[in-house]
Structures are given as structure tokens and as C-alpha cells.
Structure 1
């Protein structure tokens, strides 16, 4: 199969993934019949179904506050301690996302395509339309505008690479920690909704810290007029270290949350309840929605994010497989494609999708660096 055919097939699968995610998360019966009506009623009455107040003011803009009221209000309930399965699932899910964020930031720094220069806008769209809908479109366009070309590093590649860990820590993990890694019921609901609103803007915080830190690094240590092979290798080592660290963190949550759920005696914290959308269980010959003291709308909030993680993971695996095949047509790899698939699968089983994506992203970067590499490099 030629390069164009690989790109076309991969992009088609990605767009199909985006469409499917949109249908599941915005058009399926549980969402339209339970979640959306509950959101509308809560917004109108000013209270959650259990009688807890719903915050309706954030920055004073009616359009913004209207959007945030329901989005933040219901998202904050994932972490309020009343549904431990959803809280644990959210902790696991949040640890799987940073490798994709790093990939987008790094590509924006290289600026090989107009699309790759706007990670903040894409991040905002992700928060509004979900990653399952937005990321496949980003990946599809990336395939046709960047894949198969050498990863040309800009002069400020090293400062940008050194800024990546700080951007992820301060822009993503700190607000996530504030929202989820606290004792249950230790924060008032109103305060939690404010924290959730701050978390929703994490693409802005990540981008802000990344740009400020990289520019500060460049002003202190300077940047060459043209990057040389030594500086390029230093930048790639920082990038590799970032991916490894995020992969290990994703693996830690996978080992402490996902794997124990496979043998959990408490049905409410089982793999089936935490990770498998109840709407898909009948197709897998599994039991459907079980009797639960948790209100139905809370289960559908969890369902919404279960759909999201499945869509994001599927899109990432499709993309990195296709992009790797494209790059392999331009450079010989020491690892066969079958070996690549085996390694990615093994990393995913042991460390979760976040670790698998981090490994695949680094391998893609490594192969892109090898495309038409000068002999003296």
C-alpha cells in the first residue's frame, strides 16, 4: 500500500471515529433522554437533583456563565465523593491524556503546519466538544500536512523541550490534583464548582506556562541562530524524558486503579462498572445496567466520559499506527512493524493507553528525526 493510500485509509478511520464519538456522546438515548433534560432542569431550578445548589455565575458574562453552569456543575460531581467509581475512573482517565497534550504542544513548537500551531484553540474545542470528537480530526489533518516529513527542529527547540514538564505539571496536574486528589467531601460544593471551572481551562494554563517558561529559558540561556545536531539531540532527550515520565505516571494509575478493578469484590468498583459503558454490555454478552443507589444521571455522566476515553484511545491508536507506517516508508526501522504493534500492545496492557500513547509518540518522533537525516548528524 502506498503512502497516500495509508494516509487516506487512516484519515477515513479517524473521521469515522470522530463521527461515532459525536453520535454516542451527544445523540445517544441515555444522553438525550436522561443527562440533557436533567441538566436543563437543574439549570432552570438552580439545584442538582439531590437538592444541592448549582452555581450559576462565574465571570459575569451571560453566554459564558450559561455554558459553564451545566458543564462545570455536572463535571464537578465526578469528584464530589458520592460516586467513588466515577472518581476513580476520572483519576485514571486524567492520567492518560497528558501524552497527547505534549504531542500537540511539541508539534506546535515545530510549526510545520498551521493546524499544529493552534494547540490552545484545539484544547478549548476539546473541552467544549470532547477529545473523542476533536482529536481524530486533528490527527487526520496532521497526517496529510506533517506525517512523512522530517521533524525539523526550530532554533528554540531546546527551551521548548525543557518547558514541557513544567507546563504539564502547573497547567494540568495542579488543577487536576485540586479537583480530584483531596479527601472526599473536604471541599464545599460551591468551591468545588469553582475549582472545576478552573480545571476546564487547563488548555489555557498549559499553553500559558509553556510559552512563558520556554521564552524565559531562551532569554536566560539563549538560542542559536540555527540549531545544530548536538542541541537537537539534547532537545530530543528532554522530549523522550517527558514522554517516559508521563508514561510511567499513566502506568501507575493503571496499576493502582485499572488492574485492581479486574478482581474487585465490590461490584460497584469492578472493571465492568468503572470502565465498560453499560450501553455496550449487551453487545459483549455482559450484564447490563445494574441496580444502583446512585442516581441515573450520575451514571450517565460517567457513561459520557467512558465514551470519551474509548474514542480518544481508539483515535490515538489508529493515528499512531498510520503515521508510523507513513514514516516507515521513508526510513528503515530497527523494529519491524509486527514488533512495533507487539510492543505497543504490551505497553498498553501493562501501563494503560496513556503509557502506550507516550511510547508510540516518542517512537514516531524518533522515526521522523531519522527521515533524510544528514550523514554527519
Structure 2
């Protein structure tokens, strides 16, 4: 697969993402169900009756978009469909691992000043609004085209210009993404009122902004305690890059692998141990329904919002993580000058394909780029 072939493949992934997340939902009734949530007298999705909140900011287009997003997310976290909840958890964890990768790329010395690579908050907002499968492949193409680190993966390009920033990333991500996500997932009306659950679900939609502010606040706090934290020699930058890179990538691998193994394990349990699950869970988690979405070019209709939401999550996951893994492999092969080698691609797809079974596809991309960094910095993977 040549370098040009990779970019074409990623554009195809993006086009497929737009179709499966927007075209197919328009045909299968999902967008219709979501649109109904903005109509007068609408109730929250699911069996419980509670008025759907429709006013969030007072700005009509923003409120309508938030109502759509909150309605979709509420379906994934209300606890009525374990298949949707597990798919949502796995997708979120794969996106989180990818977020660590693109954040690391934005801090590399070689990428400094490249707006297409460093404007990650905008990228995150586009993922939240448009969809991971739509936006991520386009970012990856721009990265492959514009990143000096991909073209010349030497240590002076790979090293971070302020390593302390990467040390803060896992903490800022847990604060900006993890806390709102955990709060919106709390059961209602048990631990939260339904109104609070809706509000926290709306707040979570701004996760790229909350991560950004958390990152900046923590950077300011660290600088207050150590005013010289950003003044490092090249030798110190190199050593700290290796140290903080290890921590950030371990965090990303853990996020990807944990949710991936739970997702796959539950699906396999429904297949291998059918008697261990209730009839309801057996149907929801059967691999034929749980792992395999319907043909997006078919005329199949969703009879409920929940069914359409599951299909959306399945396609967002499939297209998004495949594009992430292709990008990670491309970065790795580019570092050794083998991106045009068919044999190298076959070997890499086999290697990272097996690895993805353990740590998830985004985790496999983390591993691939980590290998590139280890070679460039000439350090050992601890």
C-alpha cells in the first residue's frame, strides 16, 4: 500500500464515515427519532417518562444540536440496553486512546507551528459534533501530508518541545473527559435526578474544551511551583520525552484495552455461555447483533431510537478505529522507509491485527507509534 494509497484509503474511510453516520441514519429513521426530541412535548428516550429538556443556552441552533446529542447519549447511558452501553464505552475508550496520540503529536518539536496538527481542540469538537469516523480519517491525512515528523522521524523532530505538557495530559484528560463522563453515567433517578443527568450529559459534549482548560490550568499550576519547568536543555528534553511518553502511552493502552476486552468478552460470553445470561441479554449481546451492524446501503429501518443508535455506534467504531490503525501503521512504516512495501504492509497488518485483538485497534496504533518513537529516540520501552 503506497503512501498515496494510504491517503486515498483514509479519504474512503471518511466518506464511508459520513455515509454510515449521516446518510444511513437519515434513511433508517435514526435522525427522524432524534429530531422528534426537539418537538413540543417530547419525552426523554427510553421507557421512563420525563420531559426532554430543549433549552440549554438560549441560542436556538445550539440548543437543537445539544438536544440531539443529549438524546443520543442518554440512550447509551440510561442502562436499558447493555449492547448500546458497551458499544458506547468501547468507542469512547478508543477515541480517548487516539486523543492521547494526536495530543502527543501536537507537542512534538517537528510539528510546532503546524495548525492542522496542533489545533486539536477544534478536532475534538468536530469529533463530538460530526463523528469520529467522519473527522479522524481527514485529520490523519492532513497529518501524513504536513507533519515533518512523519517525513523525517529523527530525534530532534520527535522530541517534545515542552515535555511537561505531555506529563499533564493524562490528568487533564481524566478531569476534562473522565469526570463529566462518569457523572453523566450515574443512574437516575437513583443517584442523580433526571434533570441533573440531562444537564451532565449536555456538559459532557464539550469535553475537548474542558480538557483544554484543565490542561492550561494544570500547566499554570506546575509553572507556579517550578518557574523553570519549561527551561530544559536538549538532553533533558530527550530524557523527559521518553519518560512522559511512556506514561501517556501506557495510559492510552490501558484505556483502549480495558474497554475493548470487556466489549469483546461480553459478546463472546453470550455466544459461548448462553445459559449464563438472561434471555434479554442473550439477544442483545449475541455476536450477530452485537458485533455486526446492518448493511448501510440497505433499506433496513430502525424501529426505535435505540436500534438506530446501536447501528450508529457500531459503524462509528468500525470505521474510526480502522482508520486509526491504518494511520498508526503508516507512521511506523514511514519511519523505516517501508510505507511503499507491500510485504511490509502484509507483515504489519498481521502483527498489529493480532495486537488489536488484545489492546484494541486504537491501542495497536498507540503501540505502532510508540515503536517509531523508541527507534527515533533510541530509548528502551520500559
**TM-score calculated relative to the size of structure 1:** 0.84
Task: Name the CA shift for 1:343/1:189 in 2 (closer, same or farther; >3 Å).
Answer: same
State the match for 2:286 in structure 1. 270
| Equivalent of residue 365 in structure 1, options 357, 373, 378 | 373
Tell me whether 1:356 sits opposite 2:364 in the alignment: yes
- Please list the CA deviations of residues 36-77 of structure 1 after superposition, one character each: whole Å capped at 9, or x if unmatched: 222222311341365542111112222211211122122212
| Aligned pairs, number | 351
Task: Name the CA shift for 1:281/1:258 in 2 (closer, same or farther; >3 Å).
Answer: farther
Give 1:109 deviation, angstroms.
2.1
State the match for 2:27 in structure 1. 32
Q: Distance in 1 between matches of 2:376 and 2:142?
A: 17
For the Cα contact (< 8 Å) 1:55–1:73, is it kept in 2?
no
Root-mean-square deviation (CA), in Å? 2.8
Task: Name the CA shift for 1:189/1:280 in 2 (closer, same or farther; >3 Å).
Answer: same
Q: Distance in 1 between matches of 2:267 and 2:121?
A: 34
Task: Name the CA shift for 1:275/1:175 in 2 (closer, same or farther; >3 Å).
Answer: farther
- Please list the CA deviations of residues 173-223 of structure 1 after superposition, one character each: whole Å capped at 9, or x if unmatched: 22222223x347533333222111111111111122122223432443323
Which runs of 5 or more residues in structure 2 are unaligned? Answer: 275-281
Task: Name the CA shift for 1:99/1:367 in 2 (closer, same or farther; >3 Å).
Answer: farther
Map 1:48-197 → 2, pairs under 5 A? 48=43, 51-110=49-108, 111-112=111-112, 113-146=114-147, 147-150=150-153, 151-157=157-163, 159-180=164-185, 182-183=186-187, 186=190, 187-197=192-202
Q: Distance in 1 between matches of 2:127 and 2:51?
A: 27
Give 1:330 deviation, angstroms.
8.9
State the match for 2:265 in structure 1. 259
Map 1:209-228 → 2, pairs under 5 A? 209-221=214-226, 222-223=228-229, 225=231, 227-228=233-234
Which runs of 5 or more residues in structure 1 are unaligned? Answer: 283-287
State the match for 1:44 in structure 2. 39
| Equivalent of residue 244 in structure 1, options 233, 242, 250 | 250
Give 1:246 deviation, angstroms.
2.5
Q: Distance in 2 between matches of 1:139 and 1:368?
A: 20
Tell me whether 1:13 sits opposite 2:19 in the alignment: no
State the match for 1:208 in structure 2. 213
State the match for 1:285 in structure 2. none
For the Cα contact (< 8 Å) 2:160–2:241, is it kept in 1?
no
